[in-house]
Amino acid sequence: MAMKITDKCLKCGACESMCPVGAIYEGDETYMIDPTKCVECNGHYDKPQCADICPVGAPCKAD
């Protein structure tokens, strides 16, 4: 399963540099997460760093 970024995203960019696999990129309206690259930080951190750093809680687990 991958993380996704909701429409709460402020495009602050804090999450992009935190991703250990480079799955986060800037989209037109929000930052986006490539679901083929996202590993929810497994093997790198105890929890998803994008969700941990986001000031508005925009990243969440994809359905």
Q: What are phi and psi of 5, to 5 degrees?
A: -110, 130
Alpha-carbon distance 3 to 51, whole Å? 9
The pLDDT value given to residue 62:
83
Going by C-alpha positions, the residue among 22, 47, 45, 46 that lies closest to residue 32 is 22
Q: Are 57 and 5 in contact (CB under 8 A)?
A: no
Domains and CATH numbers, the chain: 1-63 (3.30.70.20)
Condensed to tens digits (0 to 9), the pLDDT of residues 19-49 reads 999 999 999 999 999 999 999 999 999 999 9
**Confidence (pTM):** 0.91
